[in-house]
Every structure is written in structure tokens, then in C-alpha cells.
Amino acid sequence: MKYIDEYRQIEAVQQFIGLIHEVAGSRLMTFMEVCGTHTMAIARSGIRQLLPETLSLISGPGCPVCVTPNRLIDRAVALSRRRDVLLATFGDMMKVPGSTSSLDREHAAGRDVRVVASTLEALELARQNPSKNVVFIGVGFETTAPTVAASILEAENQGIDNYKVLSAHKVMPPAMRALCAGELNLDGFLCPGHVSTIIGSKPYVFLAREFQMPCVIAGFEPLDIVQAVFMLARQVRQDTPSVEIQYTRAVRPEGNPQALKIVDRVFEPCESEWRGIGIIPESGLRIRDVFAGRDAESISVDVEPFRETRGCLCGRVLQGLAVPPDCPLFGKACTPDEPIGPCMVSSEGSCAAYYKYQWQPA
């Protein structure tokens, strides 16, 4: 298929692996990918096993479902219990455990929770169910926010007043700043490819300037990833931290101006809580006051007291401070069929990726 097969040629992958060995030498290097799709792509491709032993690729907070704190899930659960609410969500939120319940359980108990593939489907549900408030759970990064903003504008245009959004959107660069300032010893970021199609390369420049952190925006095919790792290793060796784009076919330095404009019309930055990391300033998006009628925060509900999932290491996994097998529950009490933490629930979660592709039971 066009734009796919060309990026999977094994000979070229091997060439890059050779180059990586050459340029990295025996120097210890740790690069973090902050995109769930990269986590899956790297695990699936088996690239980790081909890299020098001294070079590690670790996963960060790149799975939007995983970084969403229990508090938000509890609020969604509470909303679903109102008779006048129809909750619409992407499928990967269904099984994520909140403090005592999940949307899946509420659905089984007869609440009106529907899985949609896009906000346009959620909007359609609102059109068909005028007697209910249709609440879409907006979870995702810069790639998802424009699609949610577009649906709010479309609801405004078409006068669909019963369409609301519970916004838990997050933006990446402030979280990357928090990681740089934290206890982790990182040598570079594999920057998220599709987030960057929207925001471009400029929002990462501070990482190179303030933290001397090499950054490469990468695509998702095996060749994209090995080329990006090579570019990162080269920046480390030459001591030239900067922001480079490997994924040039989809990412322009200025991003997608139309998407950015739509997001800015509907949302404004706010502080936001990330599972495991805590509250990060300016890392979330809230609905602007002009669209207050669209904000599901205005629907009053009693939210149960918040409880952290016991024994789950997701918080540390999301910060790159632990790998899934460090968790005593991994592969035992916690599996994709019966997940305990969000990193195992979401198909983009580190624990799920590790379980599926890299783990051999003893």
C-alpha cells in the first residue's frame, strides 16, 4: 500500500541499525517516546532487540486514556447514572477502572453509554435524542482536541443544544517539561508524530534550548523509527540538541494552522492532572466561557470520593521510572483480559504493549 510498504524495507532498516551502532558507540543513551502509537509500533516491530544494549527506548505518558486520572472517570460514571444523560465515548475508555466502577460496568447495569468512533457520531446521537443531554468524553491529546472542537462548532452552527463535552484534553509539551525537570535521566525525546501534525515543531524548541534535550519528530513505520533513533543518537554524539523532523511527509514546522485555529476558538489552556505525574500547569484544555453551555462540568453530579487503584504501578510506568514487569501484578493479576490498571486496559498502554509483544511467561 502506498505510504506504508516503502517504509518497511528490511534492508534499509538494517542499514540504519548498523549506523545507530556506529554513532552510538558504547555511550549510554536513553530515549523516551511520548506517544502511545509509538509504544505499540516499537513493541510490534521488535526494533528494541536490534538496538545496542547501551541504548534504551522507554515509554512515557503517551497514552491518553492512561494519563486520565480516576477523578475524571468517576465523574463520567456519575454522569452516566443520570437518567437525562446519554454518555458517548471512544471505546478504549470503557474498561478503564475508576475508583469503584467503570463505564463498562455502568453500561452493563443499564446506563445509556454508547461507544462512538468519532465526535461526528456523538453529534448525530445528540440529534437523534433531543430529550437527553449527550455528553461526549473528550480524552486525548492535540490530535483529538481539534476533532472535538470541530464538533462543538458544528453543534453551534446546527443549533444542537443538547450536545456537551466533558473535556479532559491534554497537551504534550508541558508534560515533557515536567519530565525533564524530574528525576529521570533522559538523552532525548522521540516526539509524537500525529500530535505534531497539528502543533508542528516549534512547541518543542524549549526542550532543546532550556534542557539541551535532543528531539526528533518521528513517523510510525519501522524505517521511520530507526531513522529517528539514528538522528537522536547523532544529536547526542555531536552535542547539537535541536528539534528535527523525521516524519516530513506529514509534519510541517507550522503544524496544521486550521486545526490550531479551531482549537483556540473553543478551548483555552488550564492546569491538568496527569495520572502518576500530578498537576501540570497549562497542560490541559478547558472549554472557553463563550461556549459554557457545551461544558459538561456544568451538569451537577455527586462524584464519589477518589481512590487510587491499589498495587498498580501505572503512575511510575507513565513517567518512565518503571517498566511493566516491575509491577508485581503484571501478567498475573493484571492481564489484557482482566486489567487492573489503565496501562493494561488501553491498547496503547505500555503494559498492554509489553504483554502482547515482548513478554514470555516463565
Partner 1 sequence: MCIAVPMKIVRIQGDRGLVEIGTTEREVGLQLVPDVQEGDYVIVHAGFAIQVLDEKEALETLALFKEMENLD
Instruction: Note whether 329 binds ligand SF4 by CB under 6 A.
Output: yes
Instruction: Note whether 343 binds ligand SF4 by CB under 6 A.
Output: yes
Single out the residue of 241, 341, 346, 348 in contact with ligand SF4 (rule: CB under 6 A): 341
Instruction: Note whether 119 binds partner 1 by CB under 8 A.
Output: yes
Single out the residue of 202, 252, 332, 356 in contact with partner 1 (rule: CB under 8 A): 252
Q: Which of 219, 256, 226 is nearest to 143 (CA)?
A: 256
Single out the residue of 31, 141, 247, 330 in contact with ligand SF4 (rule: CB under 6 A): 330
Count of Cβ atoms closer than 10 Å to residue 272 Cβ: 25
Greatest Cα pair distance, the chain, in angstroms, is 65
Which residue do the cell numbers 453543534 mark?
A: 155
Q: Which does 65 bind (CB under 5 to 8 A by kind): partner 1, ligand SF4, none?
A: partner 1
Beta pairing, strands 163-167 & 169-170 = unpaired
Single out the residue of 27, 127, 202, 249 in contact with partner 1 (rule: CB under 8 A): 249
Closest distance between ligand SF4 and the C-beta of residue 312, in Å? 3
Instruction: Note whether 67 binds ligand SF4 by CB under 6 A.
Output: no
Per the CB < 8 A criterion, the answer to whether 113 and 93 are in contact is: no
Q: Which does 343 bind (CB under 5 to 8 A by kind): ligand SF4, partner 1, none?
A: ligand SF4
Q: Which is nearer to partner 1, 194 or 275 (CB)?
A: 194
Q: Which of 91, 19, 7 is nearest to 55 (CA)?
A: 19
Rounded to whole angstroms, how far apart are CA atoms 266 and 290? 8
Determine the length of the chain: 362
Closest chain position to ligand SF4 (CB): 341
Single out the residue of 31, 163, 220, 330 in contact with partner 1 (rule: CB under 8 A): 220
Task: Tell the burial category of 186 from Cβ atoms under 10 Å away from its Cβ (0-12, 13-18, 19+).
Answer: buried
- Residues β-bridged to residue 56: 30
Instruction: Note whether 267 binds partner 1 by CB under 8 A.
Output: no
Instruction: Note whether 92 binds partner 1 by CB under 8 A.
Output: yes
Single out the residue of 96, 296, 351, 353 in contact with ligand SF4 (rule: CB under 6 A): 351
> 116: which 3 cell numbers?
462512538
Strand order of the sheet with strand 29-33?
Answer: 55-59, 29-33, 188-191, 215-217, 243-245
Instruction: Note whether 6 binds partner 1 by CB under 8 A.
Output: yes
- Chain mean position to CA 205: 20
Q: Which of 266, 263, 354, 277 is nearest to 39 (CA)?
A: 354
Instruction: Note whether 43 binds ligand SF4 by CB under 6 A.
Output: no
CA-based angle 251:252:256, to the nearest 5?
A: 90
Kindly list the residues in this chain that would bind partner 1 in the complex (CB under 8 A). Answer: 1-4, 6-7, 9, 11-12, 15-16, 36-37, 41, 64-65, 90, 92, 117-121, 140, 143-144, 146-147, 150, 153-154, 193-194, 197-198, 219-220, 223, 248-252, 256, 258-259, 262, 346, 348
Kindly list the residues in this chain that would bind ligand SF4 in the complex (CB under 6 A). Answer: 312-314, 317, 324, 327, 329-330, 334, 340-341, 343-344, 351
